């Protein structure tokens, strides 16, 4: 059993700390946010992640998982200290490192014996050495030793517990093989492949992996836009591409772009890192521009389908950036809904989980609905922004009957064209021919 402190109880810290406890370690999750810790002590989970509430409850009841605002005490009582604080994007696009530096300073002030300090936060290359310098400068006892390790996270919101308990790989970067071995042993129960390297390479792996996945998304979205102009079907194109083992099918689903806490922030951060290093990463900058433009494709389709939006009842299904999370960071809805309101549309929005989060981020004037039927009743048009399960399984015949005009604009390609051709809907998706729109353009499909 290892004694672990996790500084930061956000998404990464809370999930990782709870999973470490579940495999038998003693874990203290700590945070400066008193309200967040108070909620956790009451058994309330501040984020939505399937299965996390039950996992937290089990490990607190069995005496392996603890929560506190006394960060210094948690550091002193632990042998391994994980830094899992936020590194939000600054105005310049680089990662804001103030919380990481604050955590490193606190660790130095409370370093009472040898400890391994692990960077779990997504941080620029060179942060490991910077953390080492800050800790060294703030040590009260000069002869106490410590090691710094990079162990980047690769959790996907909505499936984070499964990702942690059976992860693809654990990347461990350190200049001390013994410290790396300790962190490797910590991950042994997670049924994963261990990859060890130096600090800088481990830090770069996180950015390189996320920006490559973002590149795949922007690439297939660009292909989708071409497909619409030449009459091809991006679904078939992506499937044919994915059959090539060198390419693979993952992250080739066309839509309205990536969002969330990682891809937008990490692409901007790596672009900033490359600029600072004297390299113009034109490919990555194009990925970012493509993603920014892609969400506005919905607005083009709306205007094409219904004309002016003033006074139109627009039903919006899904607000979070992806299903199974309430995370609104860089969600397409944050771009599209304000534009709808700006054009004087009446917005009726539904999301099964993210409504409260959305209210904090979106402008006033939105009608929030408790179910899909309420949102679509008398709607002139319906748009899908998040592929929630109840959206994927909704009764299309019933939805069509409730709408004033059965026009569906699907930003996530939830339905196949054959199904929609036999429905009452005029159906528009991403990178595929419109359905039931014969006579309005040459690439319409009307089976």
The residue that leads in pLDDT, 261 or 301, is 301
Name the class of domain 3-197.
alpha beta
Task: Quote the percentage of the chain above a pLDDT of 90.
Answer: 92
Q: Residues with catalytic annotation?
A: 262
| CATH 3.40.30.10 describes domain 295-428 | no
Hey, where are the domains in the chain?
3-197, 206-293, 295-428
Binned at pLDDT 50, 70 and 90, residue 443 comes out as very low
**Over residues 153-161, mean pLDDT:** 91
Strand order in the sheet with 381-384: 367-368, 346-350, 313-317, 381-384, 407-410, 426-428
For the stretch 405-440, pLDDT in tens is 999 999 999 999 999 999 999 999 999 999 997 544
Domain 206-293, CATH number (from 3.40.50.800, 1.10.1040.10, 3.10.310.30, 3.40.50.1950): 1.10.1040.10
- The Cα 267–Cα 330 span in angstroms is 13
Identical topology for domains 3-197 and 295-428: yes
For the stretch 371-399, pLDDT in tens is 999 999 999 999 999 999 999 999 999 99
For the stretch 167-200, pLDDT in tens is 999 999 999 999 999 999 999 999 899 999 999 9
């Amino acid at each position: 059993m290892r004694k672990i402190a996790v500084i930061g109880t956000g998404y990464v810290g809370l999930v990782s700390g709870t999973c470490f406890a579940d495999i038998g370690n003693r874990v203290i999750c700590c945070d400066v946010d008193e309200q967040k810790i108070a909620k956790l002590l009451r058994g309330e989970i501040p984020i939505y992640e399937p299965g996390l509430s039950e996992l937290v409850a089990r490990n607190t009841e069995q005496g392996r998982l603890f929560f506190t605002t006394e960060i210094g005490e948690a550091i002193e009582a632990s042998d391994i200290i994980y830094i899992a604080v936020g590194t939000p994007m600054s105005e310049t696009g680089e990662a804001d490192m103030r919380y990481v530096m604050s955590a490193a300073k606190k660790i130095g002030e409370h370093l009472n014996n040898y400890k391994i300090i692990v960077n779990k936060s997504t941080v620029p290359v060179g942060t490991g050495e910077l953390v080492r310098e800050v800790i060294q400068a703030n040590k009260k006892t000069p002869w106490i030793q410590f090691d710094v390790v990079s162990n980047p996270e690769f959790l996907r919101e909505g499936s984070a517990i499964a990702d942690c308990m059976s992860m693809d790989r654990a990347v461990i970067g350190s200049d001390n093989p013994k410290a790396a071995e300790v962190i490797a042993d910590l991950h042994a129960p997670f049924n994963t492949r261990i990859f060890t390297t130096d600090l800088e390479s481990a830090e770069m792996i996180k950015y390189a992996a996320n920006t490559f996945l973002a590149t795949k998304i922007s690439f297939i979205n660009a292909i989708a836009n071409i497909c619409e102009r030449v009459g091809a079907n991006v679904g078939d194109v992506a499937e044919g591409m994915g059959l090539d083992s060198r390419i693979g099918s993952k992250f080739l689903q066309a839509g309205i772009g990536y969002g969330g806490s990682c891809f937008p922030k990490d692409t901007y951060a790596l672009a900033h890192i490359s600029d600072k290093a004297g390299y113009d990463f034109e490919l990555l900058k194009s990925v970012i521009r493509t993603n920014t433009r892609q969400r506005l494709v919905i607005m083009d389709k709306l205007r094409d389908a219904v004309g002016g939006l003033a006074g139109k009842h627009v039903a919006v299904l899904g607000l979070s950036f992806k299903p199974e999370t309430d995370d609104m960071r860089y969600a397409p809805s944050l771009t599209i809904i304000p534009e709808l309101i700006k054009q004087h549309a009446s917005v009726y929005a539904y999301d099964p989980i993210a409504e409260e989060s959305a209210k904090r981020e979106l402008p006033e004037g939105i009608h929030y609905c408790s179910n899909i039927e309420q949102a679509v009743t008398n709607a002139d048009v319906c748009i899908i922004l998040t592929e929630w399960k109840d959206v994927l399984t909704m009764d299309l015949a019933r939805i069509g009957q409730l709408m004033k005009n059965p026009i569906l604009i699907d930003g996530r390609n939830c339905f196949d064209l054959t199904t929609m051709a036999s429905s009452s809907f005029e159906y528009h998706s991403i990178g595929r021919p419109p359905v039931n729109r014969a006579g309005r353009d040459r690439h319409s499909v009307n089976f």
